[in-house]
Structure 1
Amino acid sequence: VIDALDECASTDIEKTLDWVNELVSDTPRKVQNLHMLVTSQPKPDIKRVFEALDSHSIDVGEANEDIVKYLKRRIELKFEEYDENIRTEIESGLRKHADGSFRWVALQLAELENCSSEDEITQQMKDLPEDLDDIYERMLKAIHGKHRADVMTFLEWLSLSSRPMKVAEIADAITVDLSSQDEPVFKKSKRYRDPWDMLKRCSGLVTESKGKY
């Protein structure tokens, strides 16, 4: 299974596509009875490789229907204080640009929920990011300079952890100074008084699932 191939860096996409071609090519190492599931936006270089193989595409139309249901529900819950015109603007704008991506819609809704006025929402809707890379870049740039080191530490631990981590575990990651030349040093003074501040620092980049991240 290869999920969200289009979200890889360009060099990683090329390497993955080369690997796929090698895997299915007529060589002594060819894998028999191979079945592969790949999810991706239909970028030209990706389409070109898989169209040349014995592949079957599944339309994202059904996903778009689910996105519409999700949008309507979230807008009802989170934007009920705004008038109908604003809610319609949000729904129609995000539907138009979603292109089958739940994650894109969810991140955009999170950004819109941080708006404090109709003008802010309208401005946000005029400047929608093109794709997930654009969204993540904006979110990383929006992190306050004095918090970036902590956020990078949180993300590194989450990315490399062998299991889902609890909020207190992630928050405590910054209390260990690994830059010491001798051995790691525990700095209690760096511990957040409220571990949930970790989630605020990583707003949009980290989500909770059953108490873990």
Structure 2
Amino acid sequence: MSVSCDCDGVCGVGCLCILSNGAVCDDRGCLESFDRAVLYECNSQCTCSRTCPNRTVQNGSNAPLQVYRAGAKGLALRTLSHLPAGKFICEYFGQVVRKKEALIREGLQNTNWIFVLREHISARNEVLCTYIDASQSFTLAKYMNHSCDANCAVFPVRVETIVPRLAIFALRDIDAEEELTLDYSGGGGGGGGGEIQSATYHQSRITCLCKSDKCKGYLPHDPKLF
């Protein structure tokens, strides 16, 4: 629910946004809770400072990230410094498209950059899908590979609009030089979760290269997303 506050400086006790929706991040830029499906930050109608922790995702990330080559995986993303659990890392952004257009683009792209966020709205017993094509964007998040034991997850964060911002947070402490990974099936991402469809959506047996102890052998595949 979108509300606004009249806080002076940093939001705290008594903030209408936090009282209504809960705080998104603490003053370190880390998630207050991993269990909430719906996250709302302060918005343009709020009077709090631009440095307010409840504007963490809007203000962008200061995490030092690097795209590098990771052998058979191809390009990958890693952090150059330690990241604490819950830390906001980066945002997956691109063009929001309809399902029909997403299907067309997925078939034309050599590498699939289309992120499918699937949110379960229990109050209405509905599933809301948002399709975001990052092929023309400069988001570093699109270089994050899949892992069956991912150290990051996507949490939808809303600021005034129904279309969420796809904020990526650390699920645990992450060491410097460690690769940043997502579970493409949406695991770990609160009650919403997200899915990045496999490189060719009609192929359901693409070998997984994560090499984790929990590896399932193949990339997640859900043809219903398209």
Q: What range describes the TM-score normalised by the shorter chain of this pair? A: under 0.3
The structure with the larger Rg is 1
Q: Given the two structures, how large is their TM-score scaled by the length of structure 2? A: 0.21
Return the structure number with greater strand share. Answer: 2
Structure with higher RCO (Cα < 8 A, 6+ apart): 2
